[in-house]
Structure 1
Amino acid sequence: MIAETVAEALEREHREIDEGIEEFVAGLAAGEPDPQPLARAVAALRRHIYLEEEFLFPPLREAGLVMPVFVMVREHGQIWKILDALDAELRDGAVAASAAGLLQELQDQLQAHNMKEEHVLYPRSEQVLTEETKAGLQELIDTGRTPEGWVCEGAR
């Protein structure tokens, strides 16, 4: 089996996060919302943003991709605010039709955001990351967690 590149792993995470949100939305539409897929997707998206901002974006900035990274950080801040609102609903156990607007906004933002990452930033990651950083990032993708209290740069 061929090992997955960092870019492939991050793209896979995009799909998995989207699938969790879509699973919740389908349950919501059927009148049987299961909050677990949404809770997993929110946690996975927070971790994904953490990995990008702490380990991927610094070398990409150093490689001259300052403006594309700036845009991604700003968009992360917008996404983070939606995640905060969804987390509040999950804590209250009231995730229902009231979340539909938030979920649509999140899906719309992720669709545009992910496309930019996948076509602009991720292809450069294989060129700018050291082998040591790639290995560490891959391990974090596989097993890592968002540190308690960490907040993305765009939401600080």
Structure 2
Amino acid sequence: MFPHLQSGALMMLLMVMRREHGQLWQHIDALVESMQNQSGEPNKVEGISTEILALLDRHSQKEEPIIYPHMDADLSSDDQEKIRDLLAGGAMPSDWVCEALR
């Protein structure tokens, strides 16, 4: 939904959201790698997991009350329906990469 909300007062906040999405994906990738390596370092997995939860908590405190309401107020009904359909049963393309990591 970000591409539809990029202009106006939300532009700077959306830049922050994208950067934070990138940070979350970097941590998730590190967690997956750590788990796949089975390096016998449960503390590392726990530490990365704790960092992800903390990042996600701080991120959600901004995104949920500020960005989500704009979905109802600023997006066309067609765009809202596309997003709802995607959330209900869509899948990310196999080659998808978080925009902040490109």
TM-score in terms of structure 2 length: 0.89
Higher mean Cα deviation, 114-123 or 56-65? 56-65
2:37 aligns with: 92
**Aligned-pair Cα RMSD in Å:** 1.6
1:73 aligns with: 18
CA shift for structure 1 position 141: 0.3
Q: What's the CA shift string for 1:2-49, capped at 9, x where partnerless?
A: xxxxxxxxxxxxxxxxxxxxxxxxxxxxxxxxxxxxxxxxxxxxxxxx
- 5 Å-filtered alignment, 1:122-141, equals 122-141=68-87
Q: Distance in 1 between matches of 2:23 and 2:44?
A: 19
Contact map agreement 2:34 2:44 (CA 8 A) in 1: no
Q: Name stretches of at least 5 consecutive residues in structure 1 with no aligned partner.
A: 1-55
Q: Name stretches of at least 5 consecutive residues in structure 2 with no aligned partner.
A: none
Contact map agreement 1:82 1:106 (CA 8 A) in 2: yes
2:54 aligns with: 108
Is residue 2:4 matched to residue 1:59? yes
Residue correspondences, number: 101
Contact map agreement 1:63 1:128 (CA 8 A) in 2: no
Q: Distance in 2 between matches of 1:144 and 1:96?
A: 33
- Code of the residue aligned with 2:86 in structure 1: it is L
Q: Distance in 2 between matches of 1:90 and 1:136?
A: 34
Indicate the percent of aligned positions where both proteins have the same amino acid.
34
Q: Distance in 2 between matches of 1:142 and 1:90?
A: 28
CA shift for structure 1 position 155: 1.3
Q: Distance in 1 between matches of 2:63 and 2:95?
A: 25
